[in-house]
Structure 1
Amino acid sequence: MDRRVLLLALATFVTGTAENIVIGILPDIAGGLGVSIGLAGQLTAVFSITFALAAPAALLLTARLERKAAFVAALAAFVLCNLLAAASPGYSVLFVARVGMAAASATIALLATMLATELVDESMKGRAIGVIFMGVSGSLVLGVPIGMLVCSLAGWRSVFLALAALAVVVLIVCRLKLPDVGARRQGTPDYLAHLRSRPLVCAQLVSILMISGHFVLFAYLAPYLGGVLGIAGTGIVLAFIAFGVAGVSGGYLGGLTADKLTPRRAIVLVPLGYLTAVMLIPLAAGTSLSFFPVMMVWACLSWMISPAVQSFLIAMGPDTAEAGVSLNLSAMHIGVGLGTALGGVAVERVPISSLPGIGAILAAMALMMAMLAYRGAGRRAGLAV
């Protein structure tokens, strides 16, 4: 594996921390700004929705730019937005800062993913994508727990200052180490051709539905742990660390599964395993001893889906690969936004213990779309279905 892929993953680690940190410090932001938990949770939702809208636009806007320059410029914009978040006098300014942060993150994630696939051989593309997503999942192992610790020591605003400082370091290293790679290799991205392919559209729906089902619970994991298992304080930090460790392995395993078993099989096997895991969560919620292993399997499978789907999009639609990846980044974050918003509504109306059940319904729908993608891709390639 080209070491420069790890550098690209470091950038997604920073942006992943920015996206997910609100989940870990939700009560502190809500208390500091004088808003409800549900309203504070929408700071994650707006990040994801903005990311979803910005990813296709980022592909178009950076089409004629040298990719390294565009990548570094996006990191600089990310730094400025985190400084604005740290200085925000109220909820509305923090909301705007999250919008800018998300747009910069979309550009960073898109360029990192496509650059990673160009730096490796054909047989390693799935794992290269997996390494990029290990950066995001790795933010849960280190970024979110450390952010929670920083918050407990110096307040939630200091978390955004720390993110800005870390992003500056990443920017400098990327500027020095990444090669000048020129503009995009493909012509104008053909979104319509991608969307006319039923298997590729079904694959995009797999991401939306499965990630929605995941974030229904994950976005409110801290209050779920407190309300259902009675875990608080250090226990919640340890839970996020355990979740993140499993998630990091999932990012790589998703790419490895696609490389070894073919993307067509991976896109079905991962949602099937995920549905099984999320259905086991209520059964394991009696004690921490039974819950933590199931939670880690759930976490691992949740991070396997993005490398599996993106490998499927590249393998089954090579002529629209860049359009497919940019739309999939949108699909992922539509899923995050929908799941977070749905979970926010649910925690106000039903017992928080109901969240895994809602997630399982969405995961079952994702599995149905995965089976349609599998069959459609088989017919298209003339394979047995």
Structure 2
Amino acid sequence: MNNKVYLLAIAAFVVGTVELILGGILDLIATDLHLTLAKAGYLISIFSLVYAISAPILLNVTARFERKKVYMCTLLIFLVSNLISAFSTSFYILMAGRALGAAAGSLIFVLSLTLAARIVEPQYKGRAVGIITMGGSASLILGVPLGIFVGNLAGWREVFLFIAILTAIVMVAIGMVMERVQPIPVVSLKRQFAALWNPKMLAIHVTTLLVLAGHLTLYAYFTPFLQETLGAGSTMVTFIYMMFGIAAVAGGGIGGMLSDRLHPAKAIVIVLIPFIVSMAAIPFSIELPLIAFMLLLSIWSALSWTVTPVQNSLIMKTSPETAETLISTNSGIAHAGIAFGTYIGGIVINHSSILYNGWVGSVLILLGLVSAIYAISRKEEAIQAAA
């Protein structure tokens, strides 16, 4: 395995930190800029929205250029976006910095995935994708807590300065050790849309949408779930989130290994079945001893992050010519699933009890499994013919 994959994973880690960190320092920003928490929350929404739609557009615009150069230029823009955020004097300047960072970050993450798969031997592609996913999930247990610590110690602006410094270090390292990577032959927009609208690929994307929505139905409200069902205090909640993050990092690696050792089509079914069971069991597990409850949460967390590398490996296997574009659209679909699941979870809470979120989420994931089975039952040659 090419060790340069780990450098790309660090870049994914930095992007993940920027995406997730705001929830931990939102109160500091709101107080400093004299905003309500609701208005400050738009900074999270704008990041997700821009992130979801940017990568396919930017990939198409940069398709003809050498990939290392594109990667370095995008990292530079990402660095500038964090400096804009750090030195912003108003809500709207900060929002502009977040939007620019989301656009650059979405392209960095997709390029990290595709470059990692291209610089390793074919038998290691799944593991390479898994390592990039691990980099993103590592931001849950390292980047976000570190950012919150910096924010509380020095201020929220210093968090963005810290991220800018990390980005600069990554740029120097990649500039020194990464070789030039020529672009793959440009695929016309017509062929890209043909691949995207192929029934097999649509089903893969629907699976991503439903699985992420099902997961977020509970995970978006995980803190109030723990507080209401277990009476968990802040220390216990923090500990559980750290354990969740560690399991998530492991899940990314497991997903990559499963994709290499099995066909990704088999791996996605093997992952989704226990994922459904573990999530459906969570509401029942609150009566179990704490150690059993924590073990179940670890399994749920690991499986939730196993899905992404398996899905991306399946896309690469199914349509290698248009993999960059399709992975970027799948990333956008994932963010749409996050928003959809959060909305559904809120409806469940408003009309019944937070205890039922896990069951509703497991039903959505079950529908995702049905979509996945439909996708893998379609012949791979069909999508190549469409492209």
Q: Distance in 2 between matches of 1:137 and 1:325?
A: 17
User: Is 1:229–1:288's contact at 8 Å kept on the other side of the alignment?
Assistant: no
Alpha-carbon offset, residue 352 of structure 1: 4.1
Aligned to 2:115: 115
Map 1:283-298 onto structure 2 (within 5 A): 283-286=284-287, 288-298=290-300
Alpha-carbon offset, residue 96 of structure 1: 3.0
**Are 1:125 and 2:125 matched, yes or no?**
yes
Aligned to 2:319: 317
Alpha-carbon offset, residue 156 of structure 1: 3.4
- CA 1:292–1:24: 2 relative to 1, 3 Å: farther
- CA 1:338–1:90: 2 relative to 1, 3 Å: farther
Q: Deviations over 1:294-314 (max 9, x none)?
A: 221111111111111111112
TM-score, with length taken from structure 2: 0.88
Q: Deviations over 1:196-246 (max 9, x none)?
A: 321111011111111122233333433443344333433333222211111
Aligned to 1:332: 334
Alpha-carbon offset, residue 38 of structure 1: 5.8
Aligned to 1:205: 206
Q: Which amino acid aligns with 1:243?
A: F
Aligned to 1:373: 375
User: Is 1:268–1:374's contact at 8 Å kept on the other side of the alignment?
Assistant: no
Alpha-carbon offset, residue 370 of structure 1: 0.9
Alpha-carbon offset, residue 28 of structure 1: 4.8
Which range is displaced more, 218-227 or 294-303? 218-227
Alpha-carbon offset, residue 320 of structure 1: 2.7
Aligned to 2:263: 262
- CA 1:133–1:246: 2 relative to 1, 3 Å: same
Map 1:77-156 onto structure 2 (within 5 A): 77-156=77-156
The root-mean-square deviation of aligned C-alpha atoms, in Å, is: 2.7
Alpha-carbon offset, residue 281 of structure 1: 1.8
Which range is displaced more, 171-180 or 370-379? 370-379
User: Is 1:38–1:345's contact at 8 Å kept on the other side of the alignment?
Assistant: no
User: Is 1:42–1:340's contact at 8 Å kept on the other side of the alignment?
Assistant: no
Which range is displaced more, 169-178 or 31-40? 31-40
Map 1:18-97 onto structure 2 (within 5 A): 18-26=18-26, 28-29=28-29, 40-97=40-97
Q: Which amino acid aligns with 1:194?
A: A
Question: Could you tell me the percent identity over the aligned residues?
Answer: 35
Which of 301, 304, 315 does residue 302 from structure 1 map onto? 304
- CA 1:341–1:33: 2 relative to 1, 3 Å: farther
3-state SS, counterpart of residue 139 of structure 1:
helix
Alpha-carbon offset, residue 354 of structure 1: 4.1
Q: Which amino acid aligns with 2:158?
A: S
- CA 1:284–1:35: 2 relative to 1, 3 Å: farther
Aligned to 1:281: 282
Q: Distance in 2 between matches of 1:138 and 1:92?
A: 30
Aligned to 1:163: 163
User: Is 2:24–2:144's contact at 8 Å kept on the other side of the alignment?
Assistant: yes
Q: Which amino acid aligns with 2:237?
A: I
Q: Structure 1 residue runs of 4+, over 6 Å off?
A: none
TM-score, with length taken from structure 1: 0.89
Q: Distance in 2 between matches of 1:156 and 1:344?
A: 29
- CA 1:167–1:353: 2 relative to 1, 3 Å: farther
Q: Distance in 1 between matches of 2:204 and 2:67?
A: 27
User: Is 2:64–2:186's contact at 8 Å kept on the other side of the alignment?
Assistant: no
Map 1:203-282 onto structure 2 (within 5 A): 203-282=204-283
Alpha-carbon offset, residue 6 of structure 1: 0.7
Q: Deviations over 1:125-145 (max 9, x none)?
A: 111111111110111121112
Alpha-carbon offset, residue 102 of structure 1: 1.0
Q: Which amino acid aligns with 2:218?
A: L
- CA 1:2–1:30: 2 relative to 1, 3 Å: same
Alpha-carbon offset, residue 39 of structure 1: 5.5
Which range is displaced more, 299-308 or 20-29? 20-29
Which range is displaced more, 87-96 or 212-221? 87-96
3-state SS, counterpart of residue 249 of structure 2:
helix
Q: Distance in 2 between matches of 1:92 and 1:228?
A: 39
Q: Deviations over 1:268-299 (max 9, x none)?
A: 22222221121122222357544322221111
Q: Distance in 2 between matches of 1:231 and 1:89?
A: 38
- CA 1:176–1:378: 2 relative to 1, 3 Å: closer
Q: Deviations over 1:70-113 (max 9, x none)?
A: 11111121122222333444544433332211101111012111
Q: Distance in 2 between matches of 1:206 and 1:377?
A: 17
Q: How many residues align?
A: 381
Alpha-carbon offset, residue 26 of structure 1: 4.9
Q: Which amino acid aligns with 2:99?
A: V
Q: Deviations over 1:9-55 (max 9, x none)?
A: 11000001111223444555556566666655554343222112011
